[in-house]
C-alpha cells in the first residue's frame, strides 16, 4: 500500500510539473496546495495531499485542479519558490501554509488568497484566512458548558512555556468570569507538587486523619458508621474551585490529569475540561480523570473521514488533514456561489457553512467554528 501511495504521489507531481496552460476564462478552479513533502514533516504533507484527493472525489467536479508544491519544513526559500510556481500555473488561491510563522512571507503575495490551516489566530487578514481550530473557539465552547452547569469558580491551568503569553492574551479576549490562572511546570517531577498546592491536598489529607482519630475514640454506632465511610476516603473537605480548564495536550495533559486524580480532585463535583483533544483513546488510562469534557470536531464526521481515508489508502490520516478536506470544500462552495473567486471579500459569507470539522462562521474579520462538546464516560466518548 505504501508503494502504491508513493507511485500516486510521483504521478501527481509529474502531472503538475507540466504546463497547465491556464487562462482567465477557461472555467477551471485552480487551487494550490502548500505542504511539506520533504523534511521532518513530509508524512504530514503526504497525508494532506491524500486528504485533498478525498475531497476532490466527493466534490466530483472535473473543473477543479489541485496544484501541489513542496513548501519544505520551516524553509522560507523553498516556500517562496513553491508559491511562485503555483501562481505561475494559474492558481489565485492556495491551501496552506500550516504554521503562522510563514505569514510574513505569504503576506507579500497580495493578489493571492491563502487558506491557512494554522490554529493560532482565527482572524482574516488582507490575504489570509485561518481555518484551524482556534483556542478562542474552544474556550468559548467550554464557557457555555460552565454557564449551563452553574460553575462559578474556575481554574485555568497551562504550562510555563513559550506559548503562555499567547494563551494569556486569548483568555482575556474570551471574557471568562470568576476564574483564576494557575501556571505549572513542564517538568512532571515538579508538576505533582504544584497540583498538591492547588488542591490543598496535604491539609485535606490531614483533615481526614484528624476526623478519623476523633471517631476512633467514640464507641457509639453512628461514629462507627462514619468511621467506616472515612476509611474509604483519601482526603476530607472540598477544593476551592468547581471547574478546571486545562490548556495542554499529549503526555503533558495526561500528567496533569494524573496529578488531579492523585490529589483527590473529585471529577463528579469538579467539571474538568481540556482543549486540543482529537478523541485519543489513550485518555482512558486507569490513573486518569474519568469524566473529562472537551470541545472538538464532529465525532461522527471525524470517524467517517478516518474510515474513508483508511479504506482508500490503507494508512491512518494525520488529524489535522481533515482541515485541508474542509478547506477545499469551502473554496468550492464560495467559487460556485459567486461564480468565481476574485478577492478575499468573496469569503465574507453571511450564512454559516457546515463542514466536516463543524460549522464555520465568518464574522468581524474572524473565522470561528461552532464546536460540539464531548465527554469521556465509561471509556467511551459521548456527546454532551
Give the sign of the dihedral formed by CA 53, CA 36, CA 87, CA 85. Answer: negative
Compute the distance between CA of residue 96 and CA of residue 248 in angstroms, rounded to an integer.
24
pLDDT at 117: 87
Q: What is the reported pTM?
A: 0.86
The arrangement of secondary structure in 2-133+299-369, i.e. its CATH architecture, is: 3-Layer(aba) Sandwich (3.40)
Query: Could you give the C-alpha distances from 196 to 237, 256, 258, 262, 266, in angstroms and in order?
Result: 14, 11, 12, 9, 14
Query: Could you give the C-alpha distances from 179 to 164, 171, 217, 268, in angstroms and in order?
Result: 16, 10, 42, 20
Q: Are 323 and 316 in contact (CB under 8 A)?
A: no
Query: Could you give the C-alpha distances from 271 to 6, 168, 180, 240, 259, in angstroms and in order?
Result: 46, 22, 15, 13, 15
Compute the distance between CA of residue 137 and CA of residue 124 in angstroms, rounded to an integer.
15
Cell reading at 313: 489508502
Cell 482574516, residue?
124
Query: Where do you find CATH 3.40.50.2300 in the chain?
Result: 2-133+299-369, 135-200+239-296
Q: Are 174 and 247 in contact (CB under 8 A)?
A: no
Length of the chain counted residue by residue: 384
Torsion of CA 98, 104, 108, 109, to 10 degrees: 10
pLDDT at 369: 77
At 216 the three-state DSSP class reads helix
Residue 288: φ, ψ to 5°: -110, 165
- Where is 194: in which H helix or E strand? helix 188-198
pLDDT in tens, 156-202: 999 999 889 999 999 988 878 889 999 999 898 899 999 999 999 99
Cell reading at 102: 510563514
pLDDT at 25: 58
Cell 489541485, residue?
66
Sites in the chain below the pLDDT cut of 50: 2-4, 6-11, 13-22
Q: What topology does CATH give the domain 135-200+239-296?
A: Rossmann fold (3.40.50)
128 strand-pairing partners? 114
Residue 38: φ, ψ to 5°: -135, 165
Cell 510574513, residue?
104
Helices (H) and strands (E) in the chain, counts: 12, 15
pLDDT in tens, 57-71: 999 888 999 999 999
Amino acid at each position: 500500500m505504501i508503494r502504491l501511495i508513493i507511485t500516486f504521489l510521483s504521478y501527481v507531481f509529474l502531472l503538475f510539473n507540466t504546463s497547465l496552460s491556464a487562462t482567465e476564462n477557461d472555467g477551471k478552479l485552480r487551487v494550490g496546495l502548500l505542504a511539506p513533502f520533504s523534511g521532518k514533516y513530509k508524512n504530514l504533507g503526504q497525508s494532506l495531499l491524500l486528504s485533498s484527493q478525498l475531497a476532490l472525489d466527493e466534490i466530483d467536479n472535473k473543473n477543479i485542479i489541485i496544484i501541489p508544491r513542496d513548501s519544505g519544513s520551516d524553509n522560507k526559500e523553498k516556500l517562496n519558490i513553491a508559491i511562485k510556481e503555483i501562481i505561475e500555473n494559474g492558481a489565485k488561491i492556495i491551501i496552506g501554509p500550516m504554521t503562522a510563522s510563514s505569514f510574513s512571507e505569504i503576506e507579500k503575495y497580495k493578489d493571492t488568497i491563502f487558506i491557512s490551516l494554522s490554529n493560532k489566530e482565527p482572524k482574516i487578514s488582507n490575504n489570509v484566512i485561518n481555518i484551524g481550530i482556534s483556542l478562542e473557539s474552544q474556550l468559548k465552547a467550554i464557557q457555555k458548558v460552565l454557564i449551563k452547569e452553574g460553575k462559578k469558580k474556575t481554574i485555568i491551568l497551562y504550562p510555563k512555556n513559550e506559548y503562555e503569553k499567547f494563551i494569556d492574551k486569548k483568555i482575556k479576549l474570551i471574557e471568562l468570569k470568576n476564574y483564576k490562572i494557575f501556571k505549572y511546570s513542564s517538568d512532571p517531577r515538579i508538576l505533582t507538587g504544584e497540583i498538591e498546592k492547588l488542591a490543598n491536598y496535604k491539609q485535606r489529607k490531614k483533615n481526614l486523619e484528624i476526623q478519623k482519630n476523633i471517631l476512633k475514640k467514640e464507641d457509639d454506632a453512628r461514629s462507627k458508621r462514619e468511621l467506616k465511610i472515612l476509611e474509604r476516603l483519601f482526603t476530607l473537605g472540598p477544593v476551592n474551585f468547581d471547574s478546571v480548564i486545562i490548556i495542554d495536550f499529549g503526555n503533558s495533559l495526561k500528567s496533569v490529569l494524573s496529578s488531579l486524580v492523585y490529589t483527590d480532585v473529585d471529577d463528579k463535583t469538579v467539571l474538568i475540561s481540556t482543549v486540543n483533544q482529537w478523541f485519543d483513546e489513550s485518555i482512558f488510562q486507569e490513573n486518569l480523570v474519568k469524566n473529562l469534557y472537551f470541545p472538538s470536531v464532529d465525532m461522527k464526521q471525524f470517524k467517517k473521514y478516518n474510515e474513508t481515508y483508511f479504506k482508500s489508502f490503507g494508512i491512518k490520516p494525520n488529524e489535522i488533514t481533515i482541515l485541508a478536506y474542509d478547506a477545499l470544500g469551502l473554496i468550492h462552495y464560495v467559487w460556485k456561489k459567486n461564480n468565481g473567486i476574485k478577492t478575499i471579500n468573496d469569503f465574507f459569507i453571511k450564512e454559516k457553512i457546515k463542514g466536516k470539522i463543524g460549522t464555520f462562521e465568518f464574522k468581524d474579520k474572524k473565522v470561528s467554528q461552532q464546536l460540539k462538546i464531548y465527554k469521556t464516560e465509561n471509556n467511551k466518548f459521548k456527546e454532551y
